Amino acid sequence: MELPNKRPENMARINTKELADAFIAEQVKEIRAQVGDKKVLLALSGGVDSSVVAALLIKAIGKQLVCVHVNHGLMRKGESEQVIEVFGKELDANLIYVDATDRFLDLLAGVAEPEKKRKIIGGEFIKVFDEEASKLKGISFLAQGTIYPDILESDGVKAHHNVGGLPEDMEFELVEPVRLLYKDEVRVVGEALGLPHAMVYRQPFPGPGLGVRCLGAITRDRLHALREADAILREEFDKNGLAGKVWQYFIAVPDFKSVGVRDGKRYEGWPAIIRAVNTTDAMSATIEEIPYALLHHITARITAEVDGINRVLLDLTPKPIGTIEWE
């Protein structure tokens, strides 16, 4: 089945439940026609796009969908646990959980070049899914959470994304039901499907996960510091009403240290860089203003609670000229 690469000019922007319900009904029909009685394999990251695709496919074909969640060791704090809770227990999905942390981190050891990191992570993901698929009978389709900006940016800008990145010998036909939607539309569809509000409106997370936020060569100690600092930032944004106002917010930790003072002694540590941006389509982004009192509080918490972090910085660069991610 040939999938369209261009959004029709007359396609209405999905911004109401009625439009979302119509889209869902149309996609359920198309998915059933495309898939028949075969099984579909989905990489379920727990992000908005893959979660909405999973819910859409569960509605259309139920247990014919096999969700595979791979913990590559680059997830945010508590993320894999949440995927298991929501999809494995609440939605009763056909879910396979793979903890591949050591496998990924061993391959990434000493690799500093961003594109090489992306290719290692993306390539290993494909291998993991190929291995899982080979254990299953009757898998004919691969579902993906591709959205419209991914297609527009798939000319080398977003090399980590699945668009154009599948090996030629992989014998799966693609199922990409939200490929012509923008992120805000995906969220409306997710709510219409009955997914939890917190999941539908959680911020997007790149395929390589914290791998593109632990800048340079990834080490386990710096990755741990990044995960803990990011969890504090997210907790404080939730508490202070910013989670619903800011499209994406996260910490990046570069691979260099500076001197500081802790308990009256010199203390070398990494900086934690806060990035908080707003956008409607991910093609451009503006900087969200964060109250200084909150910034001071976040800084105090991160530097006190996270071993290895001794400075907190704020990134004020819009897109363009800076991309949303650092790598």
**CATH classification of the domain holding 164:** 3.40.50.620
145, part of any domain: yes
Last residue of a domain, one of 143, 173, 200: 200
pLDDT at residue number 251: 98
Say what the pLDDT of residue 165 is: 44
What are 104's two structure tokens?
Answer: 């990924």
Answer yes or no: is 12 within a domain: no
- Rounded to whole angstroms, how far apart are CA atoms 236 and 242? 8
Q: Identify whether residues 85 and 154 lie together within a single domain.
A: yes
Query: Do 79 and 149 belong to one domain?
Result: yes
Residues 87 and 192 in one domain: yes
User: Does 39 share its domain with 128?
Assistant: yes
Alpha helices in the chain (DSSP H): 17-35, 48-61, 79-83, 101-108, 114-135, 148-152, 183-192, 197-200, 220-239, 292-305
Query: Does 155 share its domain with 267?
Result: no
Domain-ending residue, one of 200, 230, 252:
200
Q: Which helix (H) or strand (E) holds 175?
A: strand 173-175
Instruction: Enter the tokens of residue 154.
Output: 């798939």
Residue 4: its pLDDT value, please? 63
Give the domain range for residue 292: 213-314
Are 194 and 226 in the same domain? Answer: no
Split into its structural domains, the chain has a count of 2
- 235 and 196 within one domain: no
Q: Are 87 and 116 in contact (CB under 8 A)?
A: no
Task: Tell me, yes or no, whether 277 lies in a domain.
Answer: yes
Using DSSP, state whether 252 is helix, strand or coil: strand
Residue 204 burial class via C-beta count within 10 angstroms: exposed 0-12, middle 13-18, buried 19 and up? middle
Residue-level pLDDT at 156? 40
pLDDT of residue 134: 80
In-domain check, residue 325: no
Question: What does the alpha-carbon distance between residue 149 and residue 127 come to, in Å, rounded to a whole number?
Answer: 26
Rounded average pLDDT per 10-residue block, the chain, 327 residues: 71 94 97 94 89 95 93 92 88 92 97 96 88 83 90 56 46 90 94 88 84 97 98 96 90 96 92 94 89 98 97 97 93
